[in-house]
Amino acid sequence: MTYLIVNGDDFGASRGINRGIVRAHRDGILTSTSLMVDMPASEAAAELGRTCPGLSVGLHAAFTDESERPVIDYQDAGACRAHLARQFARFRELVGRAPTHLDSHHNAHRDPRLLPHFLELSRRHGLPLREHSPVRYFSQFYGQWDGQTHLEQVSVENLLHMLAVEASAGMTELSCHPGYVDPEFSSLYSVEREAELRTLCHPGVRRFLDERDIRLIGFGDLPALIGIPARPDAH
């Protein structure tokens, strides 16, 4: 069986991004999202998440700002561990349960100084961590590189091509960043978010998945699929 998780990063970053992620879930193929707990619209995101019972919500831990600069000294292991633990606790405070999965802004957890802290949290709470779980991570649905916008990369045609090539037996996470351009949030990735949203909501994409027998799931579905019991605090 081929399973596809479509995960929207940056939930909580702005109200425009929140609205885009919820629309991509309700009208498109998005099944999961990752919440940034320290951003201005994080509380609004948590409220919206409660209106979407089928949407898996994980923790998008932030160790960098929007320019990808570290916000904490990576050499200070104790401070980094506490920084991650505080965000986990804040997630539970906002959402009322543990996250369904764990990842990080700009994939900062790949840094060898941070990865042990993420792995520890993942193991302690039974959370799938991006690139360290049975789910294969696919990140090429992204409309910018070298500081240049490439909307063709997030077009319907290109997404279908990528899915045909990359969605294989097992479980794949397609990461995405849908949203509406929001003047209150300054980001290097802006108009690309609306292009992603249009593609994710295009009816031809869902038809393609149905024709290929690719089943959409969320991270919250993983415990049942891989045969492990859901934690009592997961819901």
CATH classification at residue 94 = 3.20.20.370
Assigned domain for 140 exists: yes
Domain membership flag for residue 233? no
Assess contact for 196 and 141: CB atoms under 8 A.
Answer: yes
**C-alpha span between 25 and 29 (Å, rounded):** 6
Distances in whole angstroms, Cα of residue 51 to Cα of each of 20, 79, 91, 180, 212: 14, 35, 17, 19, 30
Residue 118 lies in a domain: yes
Residue 156 pLDDT: 98
pLDDT < 50 stretches in the chain: 230, 232, 234-235
Whether residue 231 is contained in a domain is answered as no
Q: Residue 74 falls within a domain, yes or no?
A: yes
CB 12 within 8 A of CB 234: no
Predicted confidence at residue 233, as pLDDT, reads 54
CA dist 191 → 22, 148, 181 (Å): 17, 12, 6
Does some domain include residue 43?
yes
Give the C-alpha distances (Å, rounded to integers) separating 230 from 105, 159, 221: 26, 32, 9
Tell me the whole-structure pTM to 2 decimals: 0.94
Question: What pLDDT score was predicted for residue 84?
Answer: 98
The number of domains in the chain is 1
Residue 227: the pLDDT is 66
Taking Cα atoms as reference points, which of 35, 53, 54, 58 lies closest to residue 45?
35
Alpha-helix residue ranges (DSSP H) falling in the chain: 15-27, 42-50, 77-95, 115-125, 156-166, 191-200, 203-211, 222-226
So what's the pLDDT on residue 209? Answer: 97
pLDDT of res. 228: 54
Q: Has residue 40 been placed in a domain?
A: yes
The domain of 69 spans 2-226
Q: What pLDDT is attached to residue 67?
A: 81
Instruction: For residue 219, give the 3-state DSSP assignment.
Output: helix
132 inside domain: yes
Residues counted in the chain: 235
Contact 201, 28 (CB under 8 A): yes
